[in-house]
Structure 1
Amino acid sequence: MINNLTIEQIDSVEKYIDVLSELLIQVVEEGASIGFLPPLQRTDANKYWREVVNPEVILFVAKINDQIAGSVQLQLCTKQNGSHRAEIAKLMTHPNYRRNGIGRYLMNGAEERAKQEGKTLLVLDTREGDPSNLLYSSIGFIEAGKIPFYAKSANGELDSTVFYYKSL
């Protein structure tokens, strides 16, 4: 466990654009399946972050000694028939800080906010076999199923994704 860890919601990325882009580039280089393939260009990472925060997306960051070490998004469903649910997206921990509980803290923060927003169901997906599968199962997410050949990896292979849900 790391001392001086805080989880914060940020409403604007401009102050953090460089460090968030570096976080995204690092986790993609390490093989994270979060929608991008390496090598991720800084201009693409910057563009991504500038488009993330909007009324339907709540962005959380994990800070250690005021330095961003990870992030996660709570994406609120705006469909009339989905107003009770939200999606967890893009859970990232900087490679220098992995295996210290940061992902768990970020997930707990997102879950608490979902409850405050009146959500009763969380959903997410992740690549089959990734370490995140163990995290999600350990915090009460239930596997709903798999889709084969869902996402392309850096080596060109098509990987399965696993969908999870959690009732709040």
Structure 2
Amino acid sequence: MSPIRIEALTSSPVVWTALSEMLVETVAHGGSVSFMHPLPLAAAEMFWRDSLASAGRGERIVLGAFDGDDLIGTVTLLLDLPPNQPHRAEIAKMITRVSHRHRGVATALLREAERLAIAHRRWLLVLDTAEDEGAAGLYERMGFNLTGVIPDYAFKPHGGLTGTLIYWKRLQEGAPA
């Protein structure tokens, strides 16, 4: 694997297709990212078109991780939050291709999301991940704090309920406690 390159994604048919294929693969392998299996490619493409349109309006940042020319991972930094929450952002849709897992892709994506959050004056990050087969270990290694568990939060892609773990992380020293 060549060095991982992280960049903000912009809307184009090539990007929609690559993101959609990765999302369908993730759901097929049990990834709890808001969709049920089987996920039609057209539904995944509609999701990414909408998400990238939102990024174009500055409401979020969709990052892509690349191995050469291949898109191998993504994470979204949600910025469009209520007026009383201008200091925080949310991490969403952390996805890594099955072929590239456990190679530092998610860590690189999360580091860049944190850097961009600070650049956008967002010093508090929140996220949730599935209790079953989620990325809790990654988030804890990256310094996120577990707030709690909501049982039976969502259906897993192949059926059955799973809880969700709620995490937060303060990004800057000196931010209000």
- TM-score past 0.5 threshold: yes
The answer on whether the counterparts of 2:60 and 2:80 sit within 8 Å (CA) in structure 1 is no
Q: Determine if the alignment matches structure 1 residue 95 to structure 2 residue 98.
A: yes
The answer on whether the counterparts of 1:77 and 1:85 sit within 8 Å (CA) in structure 2 is no
**Matches for 1:136-151 after TM superposition, within 5 Å:** 136-151=139-154
Instruction: Choose from 144, 150, 155 the match for 1:152.
Output: 155
Instruction: Choose from 75, 80, 85 the match for 1:82.
Output: 85
- Match for residue 29 of structure 1? 28
Deviation per CA, 1:77-110: give whole Å up to 9, x if none: 4311110000000000000111101000000010
Equivalents in 2 of 1:154, 1:129: separation in Å?
A: 11
Q: Determine if the alignment matches structure 1 residue 104 to structure 2 residue 107.
A: yes
Q: What secondary structure does 1:161 align onto?
A: strand
- Match for residue 118 of structure 1? 121
Deviation per CA, 1:16-46: give whole Å up to 9, x if none: 1111111000000010000001100011011
State the TM-score, normalizing by the size of structure 2: 0.91
State the TM-score, normalizing by the size of structure 1: 0.95
Q: What secondary structure does 1:81 align onto?
A: coil
Regions of 4+ moved over 4 Å: none
Q: What secondary structure does 2:162 align onto?
A: strand
What amino acid is aligned across from residue 140 of structure 2 in structure 1? S
Equivalents in 2 of 1:156, 1:16: separation in Å?
A: 29
Q: Determine if the alignment matches structure 1 residue 43 to structure 2 residue 42.
A: yes
Total equivalences in the alignment:
167
Equivalents in 2 of 1:47, 1:58: separation in Å?
A: 17
Gapped regions of structure 2 (runs ≥ 5): 172-177
Percentage of identical aligned residues: 37
Pick closer, same or farther for the CA change 1:82–1:64 going to 2, 3 Å.
same
Root mean square deviation, CA, Å: 1.2
Gapped regions of structure 1 (runs ≥ 5): none
- Give the superposition deviation at 1:131: 4.6
Mean Cα deviation higher: 22-31 or 124-133: 124-133
Deviation per CA, 1:58-86: give whole Å up to 9, x if none: 00000001210000000014311110000
The answer on whether the counterparts of 2:36 and 2:158 sit within 8 Å (CA) in structure 1 is no
The answer on whether the counterparts of 1:144 and 1:164 sit within 8 Å (CA) in structure 2 is yes
The answer on whether the counterparts of 1:60 and 1:106 sit within 8 Å (CA) in structure 2 is yes
Equivalents in 2 of 1:99, 1:136: separation in Å?
A: 14
The answer on whether the counterparts of 2:76 and 2:94 sit within 8 Å (CA) in structure 1 is yes
